[in-house]
């Protein structure tokens, strides 16, 4: 852990430059460029809103809030998390030339990919805030916990990316498993519905083990429900345990396999 932190501090300027380059690289040659990061999610949100407002849900409110706003606040963090689930896992393979042709600290590769995705996420959240204001929502003291959720989300998925990108470097099958699992996580993470509305208690408790559910509910607690992160202390403790396990696992896997990365790549 100490060595990983040292590498990040030593290469902090390069991380920022590579993060900016990663954002530009994703849409190189496209006329709209970086704006595609906003256009694609907007199209998806519109499709889900139409399907659930005029089809499946018949426009019903969720937890006392219009479904459109409920959906937007929950699905925007999902776009960031889903991109990290797959993009973070493929980070080392994507930038393998930094490992095979340059003396670059491998542990920092998932980090600058994470930073580039976070830049897009914050830009989308700015749009979400504008949408809420236009719909008559006023921001109160609960918005102070928004940076906390962003920081926790960043570090959790940074640990995930370090772990998964090392494993994916050795096994492409693991990448296929991640892609398949990501689709499942979308439907079981409370993005299109509220976990609180599930009446079977044990199912509700199982879903709350999922860190994606923790972040989605956290965003809604901040912008819609007016709840502090510590009010549901059970969910907070469960997330803390999952976070620690993820960090320890990623560090151990990286420590064990990093010297073999050059050979497998």
**HEC readout, 51-94:** HHHHHHCCCCCECCECHHHHHHHHHHHHHHHHHHHHHCCCHHHH
Residue 212 and residue 153 in contact, taking contact as beta carbons nearer than 8 Å: no
pLDDT the model gives residue 217 = 93
The single-letter DSSP state of residue 136 is: T
Do residues 39 and 31 touch, judged by C-beta distance below 8 A? Answer: no
Reported pTM: 0.88
- List all residues 6 or more positions away from 123 whose beta carbon is below 8 Å from its beta carbon: 37, 38
pLDDT of residue 263: 78
Long-range contacts of 168-172 (CB under 8 A, 24+ apart): 168/89, 168/90, 168/92, 168/93, 169/92, 169/93, 169/96, 169/257, 169/261, 169/264, 169/265, 170/257, 170/260, 170/264
Tens digit of each residue's pLDDT, the chain (265 residues):
888 888 888 888 888 888 888 877 766 655 555 666 677 777 777 777 777 666 665 556 777 788 888 888 989 999 999 999 999 899 898 888 888 887 788 889 999 999 989 988 998 898 888 888 888 888 889 999 999 999 999 999 999 999 999 999 998 889 999 999 998 998 888 888 888 888 888 888 888 889 999 999 999 999 988 889 888 888 899 999 999 999 999 999 999 988 888 777 7
Q: How many domains does the chain contain in total? A: 1
CB proximity list for 178: less than 8 A, separation 6 or greater: 85, 86, 89, 164, 168
Contact by Cβ (8 Å): 85, 113: no
pLDDT score recorded for residue 192: 84
What's the confidence (pLDDT) of residue 28? 61
Report the alpha-carbon distance of residue 246 to residue 219 in Å, rounded. Answer: 21
Per-residue pLDDT of 17-69, as tens digits, reads 888 888 777 666 555 556 666 777 777 777 777 776 666 655 567 777 888 88
Residue 41 domain boundaries: 2-264
Terminal CA-CA length for the chain:
24
């Amino acid at each position: 852990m100490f060595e990983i932190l040292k590498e990040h501090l030593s290469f902090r300027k390069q991380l920022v430059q590579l993060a900016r380059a990663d954002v530009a690289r994703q849409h190189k040659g496209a006329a709209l460029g970086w704006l595609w990061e906003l256009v694609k999610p907007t199209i998806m949100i519109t499709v889900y809103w139409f399907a659930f407002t005029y089809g499946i849900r018949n426009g019903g409110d969720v937890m006392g809030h219009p479904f459109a706003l409920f959906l937007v606040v929950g699905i925007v963090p999902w776009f960031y998390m889903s991109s990290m689930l797959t993009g973070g896992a493929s980070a080392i393979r994507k930038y393998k030339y930094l490992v095979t042709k340059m003396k670059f600290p491998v542990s920092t590769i998932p980090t600058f990919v994470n930073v580039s995705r976070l830049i897009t996420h914050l830009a989308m959240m700015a749009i979400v805030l504008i949408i809420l204001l236009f719909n008559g929502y006023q921001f109160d003291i609960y918005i102070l916990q928004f940076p906390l959720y962003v920081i926790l989300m960043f570090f959790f998925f940074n640990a995930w990316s370090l772990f998964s990108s090392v494993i994916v470097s050795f096994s492409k099958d693991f990448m296929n498993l991640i892609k398949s699992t990501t689709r499942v996580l979308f439907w079981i993470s409370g993005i299109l519905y509220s976990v609180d509305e599930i009446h079977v208690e044990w199912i509700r408790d199982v879903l709350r083990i999922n860190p994606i559910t923790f972040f989605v509910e956290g965003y809604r607690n901040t912008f819609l429900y007016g709840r502090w992160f510590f009010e549901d202390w059970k969910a907070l403790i469960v997330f803390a345990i999952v976070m620690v396990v993820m960090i320890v696992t990623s560090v151990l896997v990286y420590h064990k396999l990093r010297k073999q990365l050059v050979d497998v790549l």
